[in-house]
């Protein structure tokens, strides 16, 4: 029983880290069939999803830190003596800024739509 728990834990860790079922089954030393059977179990699936969310949270924090470094680098490049470097850095900043603005607008529109749907469902 303990060996099965350990295998399940390894499978959860592997799937939570984004490995495929084939790779996760190898890491856990179980067959793909067994892993698919475990994935049919709500508790197991819930643990995998929780582990995936934890992984995504760590990745998100790391990317945020790297984004700040990237902004600092772009800021420095925008003061370069080389005009082509300044132009590319500026273009990159403006492009990303435009993308972020669009995402924020879409988020706002989605919030409005969700509010409207909830209001309609209540009535």
Taking only the tens place, the pLDDT of each residue in 54-93 is 999 999 999 999 999 999 999 999 999 999 999 999 999 9
Same domain as 43, residue 6: yes
Same domain as 44, residue 13: yes
Listed in sequence order, the residues at least 6 apart from 7 whose beta carbon sits closer than 8 Å to its beta carbon are: 28, 29, 30
Same domain as 67, residue 94: no
Query: Residue 102's domain spans which residues?
Result: 83-123
Same domain as 55, residue 40: yes
* Cα torsion 93, 95, 98, 99: sign: negative
Give Cα separations from 28 to 19, 24, 114 (angstroms).
Answer: 11, 6, 41
Same domain as 114, residue 60: no
How many domains would you assign to the chain?
2
Q: Which of 59, 52, 58, 50 is closest to 15 using CA atoms? A: 52
Same domain as 97, residue 71: no
Taking only the tens place, the pLDDT of each residue in 10-63 is 999 999 999 999 999 999 999 999 999 999 999 999 999 999 999 999 999 999
Same domain as 19, residue 58: yes
pTM: 0.62
Same domain as 72, residue 87: no
Distance of CA 79 to the CA centre of its chain: 33
Same domain as 71, residue 46: yes
């Amino acid at each position: 029983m303990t060996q099965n728990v350990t295998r399940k834990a390894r499978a959860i860790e592997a799937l939570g880290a984004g490995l495929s079922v084939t790779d996760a089954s190898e890491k856990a030393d179980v067959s793909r069939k067994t892993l698919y059977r475990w994935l049919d179990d709500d508790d197991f699936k819930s643990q995998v999803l929780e582990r995936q969310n934890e992984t995504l949270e760590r990745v998100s924090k790391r990317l945020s830190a790297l984004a700040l470094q990237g902004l600092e680098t772009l800021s420095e490049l925008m003061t370069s003596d080389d005009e082509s470097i300044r132009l590319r850095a500026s273009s990159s900043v403006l492009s990303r800024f435009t993308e972020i603005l669009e995402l924020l607008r879409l988020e706002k529109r989605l919030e409005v739509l969700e509010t409207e749907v909830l209001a309609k469902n209540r009535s």
